Amino acid sequence: MVGLRKCAAILAFAFIAAASMVSPKETNAQVIAFDARTGHYYYGQFYIGVTWLDARWYAVNHNYQVPPAHLATIKDSTENAIVSRIVDIMADFTGCWGAWIGGYDLSDAHNRFEWTTPELFTYTNWAPGEPNNAGGKEVVMEMSAYTGGLWNDVPLDATFGNRGPWVEEYEPSQVTLLSMTGPTTINSPKTVNYTVTLAAPAPPGGAILFIHSDIPAIAEALPQTIKIPAGSTSMVLSPVVAQTVGFNQTGYVRVYGKNKKSLTVTVTP
Ligand code: 2F8
Ligand code: CA
């Protein structure tokens, strides 16, 4: 990836959610949404001048979060509406015409679109007259801004019209969490242990869980994800409270699987 241009004016960090939400580390230019029905997260990436191919690569390979995401693949109108809100917010900031999502037609048979994942291309929400394969080379797909989530096919190399933002989808582990236990008052600096317990042993391949805290003294030291090995039911996290705080910091320490478990924690000087 060369020449990736992040929209410089963006300092906003917006959240939308169907029922719950999470904030990431690492970037100040994302919109995040969560579909409580499926447990999937959606990240709007505020870039411009990025082709669909590069956006696809970036969604899978960047390190904003682990495990990798993919360009959003849309299975129904509820999911389409979630992604559409992200696209509109990004358009407010970038002036883009839309954002890349994960549909493409790289076969010779035009207008036979597929998702970049193995999911079936059944639900569609094309704009009237689309996909029209304008100019004979429209083989990738965007969701157009301010249309209520209508889709359009666009050339593979398109960056005109401030094209480049994309929406990616992250599918965390679907394991059910039973509990998280650990100290709720911490006199810093101190190493603290939190234990995460699953409702059933982690499946083959293990369970990758997303962790987050909004307490600066803890967030600095937390891993962003943990992997509970296959067959294990619980695991101890060992975040280190890295620095002595000057005043009380209260917030949450939270772990996400199919559901989430939180503790309200206060770090004291
Ligand atoms: O950017 C290419 C794009 O141009 C138009 O939309 C702005 C075409 N729409 C119509 O012709 C109605 C799109 O089909 C085309 O992909
Ligand atoms: Ca088109």
Segment among 29-38, 98-107, 218-227, 234-243 with least mean pLDDT:
218-227
The ligand 1 atom at the shortest distance from the C-alpha of residue 138 is 16
pLDDT band at 199 (very low <50, low <70, confident <90, very high): very high
Ligand that lies nearest to the alpha carbon of residue 133, given by its number in the listed order: 2
Q: Is the pTM of this model over 0.75?
A: no
Question: In the chain, what percentage of residues exceed pLDDT 70?
Answer: 85
CA 30 remoteness from chain centre: 9
Q: Is the pLDDT of residue 17 over 80?
A: no
Q: Is 133 helix (H, G, I), strand (E, B) or coil?
A: coil
Ligand 1 mutation target, pool 133, 152, 162, most atoms within 8 A of CB: 152
What is the spatial distance between Cα 207 and Cα 202, in angstroms, rounded to a whole number? 5
Any atom of ligand 1 within 6 Å of the Cβ of 130:
yes
Average pLDDT over the chain, rounded to an integer: 84
Residue 106 Cα to ligand 1 middle (Å)? 19
Cβ 134 under 6 angstroms from ligand 1:
yes
What is the 146 CA–ligand 1 centroid distance (Å)? 15
CB of 157 sitting under 6 A from ligand 1: no
Q: Give the CATH fold of the 14-170 domain.
A: Mannose-Binding Protein A; Chain A (3.10.100)
201 cis-preceded (ω within 30 degrees of 0)? no
SS3 219: helix
Pairing verdict, β 260-268 and 185-187: parallel
19 pLDDT exceeds 70? no
Q: Which residues of 3-28 are buried (b: 16+ CB within 10 A; e: fewer)?
A: eeebbeebeeebebbbeeebebeeee
Is residue 155's pLDDT more than 50? yes
Q: What is the pLDDT of residue 1?
A: 42
Q: Quick check: CB of 132 below 6 Å from ligand 1? A: yes
Instruction: Indicate the fold that domain 177-268 takes in CATH.
Output: Immunoglobulin-like (2.60.40)
- Residue 152 Cβ inside 6 Å of ligand 1? The answer reads yes
**Nearest-atom index, ligand 1, CA of 154:** 16
Q: Is the CB of 147 under 6 A from ligand 1?
A: no
Answer yes or no: are the C-beta atoms of 267 and 214 closer than 8 Å: no
More confident residue, 173 or 163: 163
φ, ψ for residue 63 (rounded to 5)? -115, 30
Q: Which of 51, 97, 113, 132 best tests ligand 1's pocket when mutated (most atoms within 8 Å of CB)?
A: 132
Q: Is the pLDDT of residue 174 over 90?
A: no
Domain ranges within the chain, ordered by starting residue: 14-170, 177-268
